[in-house]
Structure 1
Amino acid sequence: MAHRVLILEDDESLRLVIAKALSRAGFEVRATASADAALERLVRREVDVLLADVLLGRESFLDRLDEVSRVRPDIPVIIMSAQTTARTAIEAGKAGVFEYLPKPFDLNDMVAVIKRSLEDLAPSAAQPASPGFGGLVGRSPAMQEAFRALGRLARTMSPVLFTGPEGSGRTHCARVLVSESGVVGPVIEAGPARMRREGAALLESAAGGALILRRADAWDGETQDWVLEALETPRGDTPRILATATADIARNLQPALLSHLAVGRVQLPPLRERGEDRALLFAHFLAEQSPAREMDETVRQYINNQVWAGEVLELKRVALHLSMQGARGPLRTDEIEAAIHEFTGRDAGADLSEAAARFFGECQAQGVSDIGDKAQLAVDRGLFSAALECTNGVRQDAAKLLGLNRNTLTRRLAALDVDQDET
């Protein structure tokens, strides 16, 4: 007998599209726009899977997931939402839903998720969600995945490893996870220096609470030993251990320690992979200290196109600097440019010159020949990729920004083997 899927969606046209896709995939489909009607069907056990939108008029269906859990604790729940915020993703994860699908999503992916949900019908207990998620901001797919991971891990007390570039917000995410996990004991943070100085005594200080250990890539052998021992032989009051590290942490940690720390894993992408999240973050930080200033499309594009060498931390510092020291009224690109130079002391041309000098030194040390040609290829790859991202892949527009004609850009892209679809 075909599995029965209940669609809870108040957009009639979308409800019809989803229903047709599921019918073609062999499911028996029921559909409604009413949360009350959906719950009645669950009580009567008329369906095997619930596919529900978050916003139904003015109501958030996340607020009713506890009712779903009471009447049908065995049913897989898949949430879909156009509100691709940290709150939505994390609340969905904490509530024990099977999967969260940010809109727009691919219908084939939706069908695959529903099929996976039916492979394991173990009961899932919904938990009440708490408001606020520490100012986490992001709509990019990579950040949505990080938020979903936070939601799942908030329901456990397992160790968690947060990886990402320096300044990407790893420690902040660890603090948010501790807060959302309901830890009642002390929360202690320590970097490599303090860990070397105090050693395993930190475990006593954080007994019954949580221990956030920063920069695992800089831990010495003795530090790794006591952390590993704590994870291998936990006691009743051993704190929950969360660690931060760069993505290449496997080169620095003992394999056994890495396997224990990474029971839970949250990967934070570099800003360059977060797309329009950069402008969202900038606006969020800008409004922390003063009334929000208007940001037009030119300003948002300028922020999104910046290479934030210091990641989220640099972007935050520039935004806070502008919120406290900048003028009032709509934000201007020249203000941001001046703040980047003044507040960070960074000059793009100087950065490029320093990078070229380091590149030359590394190549020379390795005995590499044709250093100039290789440096030019590296610069071209960065420039062309940035220009194409800025113009959404439109080569004509990218070439104009670079001062090239379209044919020249296409030829040089082919030489670099840069895979960019024409749009």
Structure 2
Amino acid sequence: MTQDISAGRRILVLEDDETLRLVISRALTRAGFDVRATASPSSAIERMARRDADLLVADVLLGDENFLDRLEELQHVRPDAPVLVISAQTTAATAIQAVRGGAYEYLPKPFDLDDLVDAVCRALDTGERAGQQRSGANPFPDLVGRSPAMQTAFRLLARLSTASAPVLFTGPDGSGRASAARTLHRACKPGKALVEAGPDRLRREGVQIFREATGAGLLLRRAERWDDAIQDMVLEQLDQLADTRLYVTALADVRTAMAPALFERLAVGHVDLPPLRARGDDRLRLFEHFLKKHGRTDLAIARDAAEFINAYPWPGEVAELERTAARLAVQGDRGTLGLPALQEALTAPTAPGTGSTLEDAVRAFVAARLSEHSQDIAGDTAAIVDRAMIETVLAHCGGVRRDAARYLGLNRNTLARRLTALGMDSGGEE
């Protein structure tokens, strides 16, 4: 199939990194394409205008120039030529601006060369491009990430920015669902208002909310908490939306709490945001971004603190990470952020109902040991859990080991050995 598409097709590669330019050119040549390359944006546009190539593969940042700013110019001289954009930038805005500027596809660096070849083949085979008017400068910087899961979300946002169907955003509380919805709205309806409502406001104001959002955007939050009356109202209003773009946020299991007919109408577009613990090094990137957002460009992050940030489970998701970064930005010392200051910021008072689970506590303990380069994390963790469990049960039983052993599912001799191993054998009632 690849050979059928590539036969006689010419590809122009625009990349100022000589090594990457060579690697991409070789991969496309092996796939059967006739490949040319350049490091100059102006040269690339001129050659595309002369029809020297059928498709352009272009990097975004080329020296001091951002090629996204020239997509409109390229579309004017070669509206029939697909463009594939590659970029090391980590914001959703890059993906959205690329697609809305006329790019067929957006591939984040680093990418698999097979994925690049497949994208080129699809572009030449279908000739489809999202040829919409390009958006302006980046107005939504908070969606940051290089992890595969986030790049998948960014590409979905880019594609949905050219559509008008309702979009359902799922993911854990605090994972950035509403931010992603606002990002998409700014791309779809720049300058238009976005009306937002949770279950309480929906229950209180009813259909008036839908009327208020006419011609603009409507963000309905926490759909997993909608009762039957709200679900019936939303389903009835869907046919009245006309030119109003609808966005809905919910937990990942919302389907179990929602009428099937309503779910299918709302999830025409679906973006799932992964938990923060699944985003790898994006945790540190986000933390650095939020420090700068809250005014601290002078604060370096020590290695142990950086390792902790990338290993900590962040049970409160992106919202907790931003609050911690903001707290340090406002009251942190100048210079370098070390692990003690970071951990102190994490222990600041939290709102009721935000307690961690046992799994979260274990993750936090392991993250701290990783940042200290401990060599026996399994032993350390098992000892801490054993000590806390046995101390709590013994206290409940008034120190009577016989009763404690029964609660723990152990015989008294085994409990005695565990107490000795943990250094807890200081006597007590048998």
Normalising by structure 2, report the TM-score. Answer: 0.78
Partners of 2:42 and 2:149 in 1: CA distance: 34
Partners of 2:374 and 2:260 in 1: CA distance: 45
More off after superposition, 102-111 vs 183-192:
183-192
Whether 1:79 aligns to 2:85 is: yes
For structure 2, which runs of at least 5 residues remain unmatched after alignment?
1-6, 381-430
More off after superposition, 267-276 vs 248-257:
248-257
C-alpha change, 1:263 and 1:41, in structure 2 (3 Å) is same
For structure 1, which runs of at least 5 residues remain unmatched after alignment?
357-378, 392-396, 405-423
TM-superposed deviation, 1:230: 2.2
TM-superposed deviation, 1:167: 0.7
SS of match in other structure, 1:302: helix
Does the 8 Å CA contact 2:224/2:250 hold for their aligned counterparts? yes
Per-residue deviation, residues 209-265 of structure 1 (Å, max 9, x unmatched): 11110011111112112212222x2354x5221100111121122222222212222
Structure 1 residue identity aligned to 2:220: L
Counterpart of 2:276 in structure 1 is 271
TM-superposed deviation, 1:107: 1.4
**Pick aligned residue for 1:204 from 211, 214, 230:** 211
**Pick aligned residue for 2:194 from 178, 187, 190:** 187
Counterpart of 1:369 in structure 2 is none
**Pick aligned residue for 1:164 from 165, 171, 194:** 171
How much identity, in percent, do the aligned residues show? Answer: 49
Whether 1:318 aligns to 2:324 is: yes
Partners of 1:15 and 1:134 in 2: CA distance: 28
Counterpart of 2:301 in structure 1 is 295
Partners of 2:59 and 2:187 in 1: CA distance: 23
TM-superposed deviation, 1:141: 1.8
Whether 1:332 aligns to 2:335 is: no
SS of match in other structure, 1:287: helix
Does the 8 Å CA contact 1:7/1:32 hold for their aligned counterparts? yes
Counterpart of 1:228 in structure 2 is 235
Partners of 2:157 and 2:43 in 1: CA distance: 31
Does the 8 Å CA contact 1:73/1:123 hold for their aligned counterparts? no
Partners of 2:216 and 2:290 in 1: CA distance: 29
Alignment of structure 1 residues 65-144 onto 2, 5 Å? 65-122=71-128, 124-131=130-137, 132-144=139-151
TM-superposed deviation, 1:345: 7.7
Whether 1:244 aligns to 2:249 is: yes
Per-residue deviation, residues 144-188 of structure 1 (Å, max 9, x unmatched): 222222222233332111111001111122122222223554421
Counterpart of 1:309 in structure 2 is 315
Partners of 1:390 and 1:144 in 2: CA distance: 27
C-alpha change, 1:103 and 1:109, in structure 2 (3 Å) is same
Partners of 1:246 and 1:95 in 2: CA distance: 32
SS of match in other structure, 2:68: helix
SS of match in other structure, 2:56: strand
Does the 8 Å CA contact 1:185/1:207 hold for their aligned counterparts? no
Normalising by structure 1, report the TM-score. Answer: 0.79
TM-superposed deviation, 1:82: 2.2
C-alpha change, 1:354 and 1:177, in structure 2 (3 Å) is closer
Counterpart of 1:47 in structure 2 is 53
More off after superposition, 191-200 vs 149-158:
149-158
Does the 8 Å CA contact 1:285/1:316 hold for their aligned counterparts? yes
TM-superposed deviation, 1:113: 1.4
Whether 1:402 aligns to 2:378 is: yes
Size of the alignment, in residue pairs? 369
TM-superposed deviation, 1:205: 1.6
Whether 1:174 aligns to 2:174 is: no
C-alpha change, 1:122 and 1:87, in structure 2 (3 Å) is closer
Whether 1:149 aligns to 2:149 is: no
C-alpha change, 1:155 and 1:318, in structure 2 (3 Å) is same
